[in-house]
Copies of this chain bind each other. A is one copy, B any other.
């Protein structure tokens, strides 16, 4: 396991490069209008942690640790608020202990002990939550000890069924390890959330992660054959089935349960043959609405492109695509066995018909070896737009940390809405967010860009990025909270979802409470009480115990 930053994104030493620093300074200077200074990264020796309030039981000594690095690095996820607190050396919410179970039996022993001492247990995958999903705030924990349950030792592809194209995978497996094990078999899960390098299968399942595919199978949910979990009162294992109509799907209860009902330990996942044929093209539009309308037509066409992402002109410019005068629609098709030229050409026609400019000759496609940047392959040919987008996509969290060290507010939030309300919704959320930024003194020209990450026949998932100057230090947190609340309220009022794929955690409870059917919440709380009678699992995430 590589050494990870205890406060910021990624591996130790992988922060912004000198070249990225220069680039950020050049871009941020006009926004801030004052001298830029880089806040120092915190050192583990300089932070203070609260005393551990739990005694390490002898019987579990080999599974539990209380080192400062373990506790600090399991205190938060990677949201704006988490990084700002980390930069300020505030680790007051640190867990008392960190557990590293290696087997399901270990987990059961830890759960039994947690029940005895009335501890709180927080299932922890890669810790990449941007919604407060792995933190237990001081006011929630009260006098209860808090244990972070790090799943990283339950790792690996455990079994492969080549004939059915499925694999049994341990929940603690990180993205790159998972793909590295499938690759020699010619297989891939092909799930690439932005957190890919630093998140796990179990975390993806628990949060209904959104990944590679912009249409059709947008969330990981549809790739699940069966899930195994350990609840405080027994094992939960669904049967491995390609499809079933026997009662409500047990898997769909665990998908999105965010560690509140059980600890997901492994899953049988549908995997795929690695793509060989590919084709991609870019459509350029004079309006964001026009680009989105073309995406709608593609989503309703039955062509199911693997990529179908819209970047507004600002988002495109910030990510290094063009001069900021065009709104872009990135389209790509891929297939393991069949040429995609025909479908790609059909898509080009649709995009042109919808008013998009597409280079002549684009979308021809062809045979191209699978060289996903996500897996760090060599690359001997020049990057195309899709690859440049992925590079930019994977570096974004590092750059975000850089912006925070420069004193800015940088936040992303995402949602989904049906097409009939789309234009009004995006404008309404944008206006409410800008108004809140200005009211909080984050002017005069805060950046708010938008892209579509996933599109459906009946709607789309807009993803907003905010970059704005903030008050020094942790004062930014209050500004951020006000802006976050305003955006959430606008989303709730205008009919969207508080999250399309980032999850609810603690940060989205305000919107989730407005959105979830009250009867459903009553029902799922009753379910939790039955399975987790002491309320040990991630209390306060999704709902109050």
Interface with B: A94-102, A333-341, A465-473, which one? A333-341
Cβ of A399 to closest chain B Cβ, rounded Å: 24
> Does A225 have its Cβ within 8 Å of any Cβ on chain B?
yes
> Does A426 have its Cβ within 8 Å of any Cβ on chain B?
no
B residues near A242, Cβ cutoff 8 Å: 416-419, 456-461
> Does A210 have its Cβ within 8 Å of any Cβ on chain B?
yes
Decide if B459 touches A243 in the complex (CB within 8 Å). yes
B residues near A342, Cβ cutoff 8 Å: 342
Complex alpha-carbon distance, A246 and B521, angstroms? 12
Q: Which residue of B lies closest to A306 (CB)?
A: B302
Decide if B303 touches A338 in the complex (CB within 8 Å). yes
Q: Which residue of B lies closest to A233 (CB)?
A: B519
> Does A19 have its Cβ within 8 Å of any Cβ on chain B?
no
B residues near A517, Cβ cutoff 8 Å: 235-238, 250
Complex alpha-carbon distance, A256 and B338, angstroms? 36
Complex alpha-carbon distance, A43 and B193, angstroms? 63
Complex alpha-carbon distance, A416 and B303, angstroms? 27
> Does A194 have its Cβ within 8 Å of any Cβ on chain B?
no
Binary contact readout A223-266 vs B (1 if CB under 8 angstroms, 0 otherwise):
00100000101111111111111111110111111100110000
Decide if A497 touches B161 in the complex (CB within 8 Å). no
Interface with B: A32-40, A307-315, A376-384, A501-509, which one? A501-509
11 examples of A-B residue contacts, CB within 8 angstroms: A164-B420, A236-B517, A242-B460, A243-B456, A243-B497, A246-B511, A247-B258, A248-B253, A249-B256, A253-B523, A261-B523
B residues near A254, Cβ cutoff 8 Å: 248
B residues near A508, Cβ cutoff 8 Å: 246
Complex alpha-carbon distance, A496 and B183, angstroms? 29
Decide if A245 touches B516 in the complex (CB within 8 Å). no
> A: which residues have CB within 8 A of B?
161, 163-166, 207-210, 216, 218-219, 225, 231, 233-250, 252-258, 261-262, 270, 272-273, 296, 300-304, 335-338, 342, 346, 416-420, 454, 456-461, 495-504, 508, 511-512, 515-520, 522-531, 542
Decide if B164 touches A459 in the complex (CB within 8 Å). yes
Cβ of A524 to closest chain B Cβ, rounded Å: 7
Q: Which residue of B lies closest to A270 (CB)?
A: B458
Q: Which residue of B lies closest to A216 (CB)?
A: B216
Question: What 8 A-B pairs are tightest by C-beta distance, nearest first?
Answer: A242-B459, A526-B530, A252-B252, A242-B456, A523-B527, A244-B497, A208-B245, A164-B419
B residues near A257, Cβ cutoff 8 Å: 247-248
Complex alpha-carbon distance, A255 and B249, angstroms? 8
Q: Which residue of B lies closest to A459 (CB)?
A: B242
Cβ of A52 to closest chain B Cβ, rounded Å: 32
Decide if A523 touches B531 in the complex (CB within 8 Å). yes
Q: Which residue of B lies closest to A492 (CB)?
A: B239
Complex alpha-carbon distance, A312 and B53, angstroms? 67
B residues near A457, Cβ cutoff 8 Å: 164-165, 242, 270, 272
Known A242-B416, A523-B531; judge A516-B247 contact (CB<8 A).
Answer: yes
Cβ of A254 to closest chain B Cβ, rounded Å: 7
Complex alpha-carbon distance, A529 and B337, angstroms? 50
B residues near A519, Cβ cutoff 8 Å: 231, 233-236, 262, 531
Decide if A302 touches B496 in the complex (CB within 8 Å). no
B residues near A454, Cβ cutoff 8 Å: 243
Decide if B244 touches A416 in the complex (CB within 8 Å). yes
Decide if B246 touches A512 in the complex (CB within 8 Å). yes
B residues near A243, Cβ cutoff 8 Å: 218-219, 416, 454, 456, 459, 461, 497, 500
Decide if B496 touches A241 in the complex (CB within 8 Å). yes
Known A254-B248, A417-B241, A517-B237; judge A165-B531 contact (CB<8 A).
Answer: no
Interface centre among A161, A208, A245, A504 (most CB of B within 10 A): A245
Decide if A246 touches B498 in the complex (CB within 8 Å). yes
